[in-house]
Amino acid sequence: MLNPVVAGEFCPGDGEYSAMEEYARLLARRLSPGRIRHSLGVAEYSARLAARHGAPVEKARLAGLLHDYARDLPPQELIARAERAGLISHVVEKRVPVLLHGPVGAWLLREEVGIADEEILQAVSRHTTGAPNMSLIDKIIYLADALEPGRQYYGVDDLRRMAEEDLDRALLKTMESGIVYVLRRGQLLHPVTIEARNYLLINR
Protein backbone atom coordinates (compact mmCIF):
# COMPACT_ATOMS: atom_id res chain seq x y z
CA MET A 1 0.00 0.00 0.00
CA LEU A 2 1.32 3.39 -0.94
CA ASN A 3 1.15 6.27 1.46
CA PRO A 4 -2.61 6.95 1.38
CA VAL A 5 -2.05 10.70 1.50
CA VAL A 6 0.02 10.56 -1.65
CA ALA A 7 -2.29 8.01 -3.24
CA GLY A 8 -5.63 9.46 -2.28
CA GLU A 9 -5.08 13.16 -2.64
CA PHE A 10 -3.16 13.42 -5.81
CA CYS A 11 -2.61 17.13 -6.23
CA PRO A 12 -0.54 18.90 -8.83
CA GLY A 13 2.55 20.41 -7.32
CA ASP A 14 5.95 19.40 -6.08
CA GLY A 15 5.15 15.76 -5.40
CA GLU A 16 3.48 15.28 -8.73
CA TYR A 17 6.30 13.86 -10.79
CA SER A 18 7.55 11.43 -8.17
CA ALA A 19 4.02 10.21 -7.49
CA MET A 20 3.52 9.45 -11.18
CA GLU A 21 6.86 7.63 -11.20
CA GLU A 22 5.85 5.64 -8.17
CA TYR A 23 2.61 4.61 -9.86
CA ALA A 24 4.49 3.68 -13.02
CA ARG A 25 6.73 1.40 -10.94
CA LEU A 26 3.67 -0.16 -9.40
CA LEU A 27 2.21 -0.84 -12.83
CA ALA A 28 5.41 -2.54 -13.90
CA ARG A 29 4.70 -5.25 -11.33
CA ARG A 30 1.33 -6.05 -12.90
CA LEU A 31 1.58 -5.29 -16.61
CA SER A 32 3.65 -6.43 -19.57
CA PRO A 33 6.01 -3.90 -21.21
CA GLY A 34 3.61 -3.50 -24.14
CA ARG A 35 0.73 -2.77 -21.78
CA ILE A 36 2.89 -0.26 -19.87
CA ARG A 37 3.59 1.53 -23.14
CA HIS A 38 -0.15 1.61 -23.87
CA SER A 39 -0.84 2.93 -20.34
CA LEU A 40 1.71 5.72 -20.74
CA GLY A 41 0.15 6.57 -24.11
CA VAL A 42 -3.31 6.69 -22.53
CA ALA A 43 -1.98 8.88 -19.68
CA GLU A 44 -0.57 11.44 -22.09
CA TYR A 45 -3.56 11.37 -24.41
CA SER A 46 -5.92 11.75 -21.43
CA ALA A 47 -3.96 14.77 -20.20
CA ARG A 48 -4.14 16.30 -23.65
CA LEU A 49 -7.90 15.76 -24.00
CA ALA A 50 -8.40 17.10 -20.47
CA ALA A 51 -6.52 20.30 -21.31
CA ARG A 52 -8.51 20.65 -24.49
CA HIS A 53 -11.93 20.09 -22.88
CA GLY A 54 -11.51 21.74 -19.49
CA ALA A 55 -11.06 18.70 -17.24
CA PRO A 56 -8.47 18.45 -14.44
CA VAL A 57 -5.33 17.52 -16.34
CA GLU A 58 -3.38 15.66 -13.64
CA LYS A 59 -6.41 13.69 -12.54
CA ALA A 60 -7.00 12.60 -16.14
CA ARG A 61 -3.33 11.72 -16.56
CA LEU A 62 -3.35 9.53 -13.45
CA ALA A 63 -6.62 7.81 -14.35
CA GLY A 64 -5.22 7.14 -17.82
CA LEU A 65 -2.02 5.73 -16.42
CA LEU A 66 -3.87 3.36 -14.09
CA HIS A 67 -6.86 2.41 -16.26
CA ASP A 68 -5.56 -1.08 -17.20
CA TYR A 69 -4.26 -1.98 -13.75
CA ALA A 70 -6.05 -5.36 -13.79
CA ARG A 71 -5.71 -6.01 -17.52
CA ASP A 72 -3.15 -8.80 -17.25
CA LEU A 73 -4.97 -10.84 -14.61
CA PRO A 74 -6.00 -14.27 -15.93
CA PRO A 75 -9.73 -14.65 -16.75
CA GLN A 76 -10.42 -17.00 -13.85
CA GLU A 77 -8.85 -14.59 -11.41
CA LEU A 78 -10.86 -11.68 -12.80
CA ILE A 79 -14.04 -13.68 -12.24
CA ALA A 80 -12.99 -14.85 -8.78
CA ARG A 81 -12.06 -11.36 -7.61
CA ALA A 82 -15.17 -9.81 -9.15
CA GLU A 83 -17.37 -12.39 -7.43
CA ARG A 84 -15.70 -11.84 -4.08
CA ALA A 85 -16.04 -8.08 -4.39
CA GLY A 86 -19.65 -8.25 -5.65
CA LEU A 87 -18.74 -6.66 -8.98
CA ILE A 88 -20.60 -8.97 -11.34
CA SER A 89 -23.53 -7.04 -12.78
CA HIS A 90 -24.44 -9.19 -15.77
CA VAL A 91 -23.96 -12.78 -16.91
CA VAL A 92 -22.04 -11.56 -19.99
CA GLU A 93 -19.13 -10.66 -17.71
CA LYS A 94 -18.59 -14.30 -16.77
CA ARG A 95 -18.59 -15.29 -20.43
CA VAL A 96 -16.27 -12.44 -21.44
CA PRO A 97 -14.15 -12.00 -18.30
CA VAL A 98 -11.88 -9.40 -19.90
CA LEU A 99 -14.78 -6.98 -19.49
CA LEU A 100 -14.15 -7.20 -15.74
CA HIS A 101 -10.70 -5.66 -15.85
CA GLY A 102 -12.26 -2.20 -15.47
CA PRO A 103 -14.29 -2.84 -12.30
CA VAL A 104 -11.69 -5.20 -10.81
CA GLY A 105 -8.93 -2.69 -11.61
CA ALA A 106 -10.83 0.06 -9.80
CA TRP A 107 -11.41 -2.25 -6.85
CA LEU A 108 -7.71 -3.17 -6.64
CA LEU A 109 -6.66 0.46 -6.95
CA ARG A 110 -8.87 1.30 -4.00
CA GLU A 111 -8.00 -1.69 -1.81
CA GLU A 112 -4.36 -2.33 -2.69
CA VAL A 113 -3.00 0.96 -3.91
CA GLY A 114 -5.08 3.30 -1.75
CA ILE A 115 -6.50 5.44 -4.55
CA ALA A 116 -9.45 7.22 -2.95
CA ASP A 117 -10.49 9.59 -5.72
CA GLU A 118 -13.95 8.38 -6.77
CA GLU A 119 -13.76 10.11 -10.15
CA ILE A 120 -10.58 8.25 -11.04
CA LEU A 121 -11.98 4.94 -9.78
CA GLN A 122 -15.21 5.38 -11.74
CA ALA A 123 -13.34 6.23 -14.94
CA VAL A 124 -11.19 3.12 -14.55
CA SER A 125 -14.23 0.99 -13.79
CA ARG A 126 -16.20 2.24 -16.81
CA HIS A 127 -13.48 2.24 -19.46
CA THR A 128 -14.19 -1.24 -20.85
CA THR A 129 -17.96 -1.10 -21.44
CA GLY A 130 -18.79 2.58 -21.14
CA ALA A 131 -21.90 3.56 -19.20
CA PRO A 132 -24.90 5.85 -19.44
CA ASN A 133 -24.28 9.37 -18.11
CA MET A 134 -20.49 9.23 -18.20
CA SER A 135 -18.57 12.05 -16.51
CA LEU A 136 -16.07 14.17 -18.41
CA ILE A 137 -13.20 12.14 -16.96
CA ASP A 138 -14.99 8.87 -17.83
CA LYS A 139 -15.32 10.02 -21.44
CA ILE A 140 -11.71 11.16 -21.65
CA ILE A 141 -10.32 7.87 -20.37
CA TYR A 142 -12.60 5.82 -22.61
CA LEU A 143 -11.51 7.83 -25.64
CA ALA A 144 -7.83 8.00 -24.78
CA ASP A 145 -7.83 4.21 -24.38
CA ALA A 146 -9.13 3.84 -27.94
CA LEU A 147 -7.21 6.70 -29.55
CA GLU A 148 -3.72 6.84 -27.98
CA PRO A 149 -0.90 6.91 -30.53
CA GLY A 150 -0.20 3.17 -30.23
CA ARG A 151 -3.68 2.33 -31.54
CA GLN A 152 -3.91 1.70 -35.23
CA TYR A 153 -7.11 0.74 -36.99
CA TYR A 154 -9.28 1.98 -39.83
CA GLY A 155 -10.81 5.36 -39.00
CA VAL A 156 -8.74 6.11 -35.92
CA ASP A 157 -7.37 9.37 -37.33
CA ASP A 158 -10.89 10.64 -37.98
CA LEU A 159 -11.85 9.76 -34.42
CA ARG A 160 -8.76 11.58 -33.11
CA ARG A 161 -9.70 14.72 -35.01
CA MET A 162 -13.27 14.44 -33.79
CA ALA A 163 -12.09 14.09 -30.17
CA GLU A 164 -10.42 17.49 -30.42
CA GLU A 165 -13.63 19.22 -31.49
CA ASP A 166 -16.59 17.30 -30.10
CA LEU A 167 -15.99 14.87 -27.28
CA ASP A 168 -19.51 13.39 -27.22
CA ARG A 169 -19.60 12.80 -30.94
CA ALA A 170 -16.17 11.15 -30.78
CA LEU A 171 -17.36 9.03 -27.87
CA LEU A 172 -20.46 7.92 -29.78
CA LYS A 173 -18.47 7.07 -32.91
CA THR A 174 -15.73 5.28 -30.98
CA MET A 175 -18.31 3.27 -29.07
CA GLU A 176 -20.11 2.39 -32.30
CA SER A 177 -16.88 1.25 -33.91
CA GLY A 178 -16.29 -0.96 -30.85
CA ILE A 179 -19.81 -2.37 -31.10
CA VAL A 180 -19.37 -3.13 -34.82
CA TYR A 181 -16.05 -4.86 -34.04
CA VAL A 182 -17.76 -7.08 -31.46
CA LEU A 183 -20.65 -7.88 -33.82
CA ARG A 184 -18.32 -8.73 -36.72
CA ARG A 185 -16.52 -11.21 -34.51
CA GLY A 186 -19.78 -12.72 -33.34
CA GLN A 187 -19.00 -11.97 -29.72
CA LEU A 188 -21.28 -11.11 -26.82
CA LEU A 189 -22.06 -7.46 -26.36
CA HIS A 190 -22.48 -6.05 -22.86
CA PRO A 191 -25.97 -4.49 -22.43
CA VAL A 192 -24.50 -1.47 -20.64
CA THR A 193 -22.64 -0.55 -23.84
CA ILE A 194 -25.99 -0.39 -25.65
CA GLU A 195 -27.36 1.73 -22.82
CA ALA A 196 -24.33 4.00 -23.06
CA ARG A 197 -24.86 4.48 -26.80
CA ASN A 198 -28.61 5.07 -26.41
CA TYR A 199 -27.90 7.61 -23.69
CA LEU A 200 -25.53 9.52 -25.98
CA LEU A 201 -28.05 9.50 -28.84
CA ILE A 202 -30.89 10.71 -26.62
CA ASN A 203 -28.94 13.32 -24.67
CA ARG A 204 -26.92 14.98 -27.37
Residues found near Fe ion in the complex (CB under 5 A): 68, 145
In the bound state with Fe ion, the residue whose beta carbon lies nearer, of 138 and 145, is 145
Task: Give me the least distance between CB of 19 and Fe ion, in Å please.
Answer: 21
Least distance to Fe ion from the beta carbon of 6, Å? 24
Rounded to a whole number of angstroms, the minimum distance from the CB of residue 67 to Fe ion is 6
CA 145: distance to chain centroid?
A: 6
- Nearest distance from C-beta of residue 105 to Fe ion, angstroms: 8
Residues whose CB falls within 8 Å of the CB of residue 178, separated by 6 or more in sequence, listed in order? 146, 193
CA-CA distance, 204 to 189, in Å (whole number)? 23
d(CA 172, CA 196): 9
Least spacing, CB of residue 128 vs Fe ion, in Å: 6
Going by C-alpha positions, the residue among 26, 63, 25 that lies closest to residue 44 is 63
Residue type, 9: E
- Closer to Fe ion at the Cβ: 10 or 45? 45
> Which CB sits closer to Fe ion, 35 or 52?
35
> Quick one: 55 or 128, whose CB is closer to Fe ion?
128
Residue (7 or 70) nearer to Fe ion, CB: 70
**113 neighbors 3 (Cβ within 8 angstroms):** no
What's the min distance (Å) between Cβ of 38 and Fe ion?
A: 6
43 three-class SS: helix
DSSP symbols for 148-195: STT---TTHHHHHHHHHH-HHHHHHHHHHHHHHHHHHTT----HHHHH
Beta carbon nearer to Fe ion, 31 or 172: 31
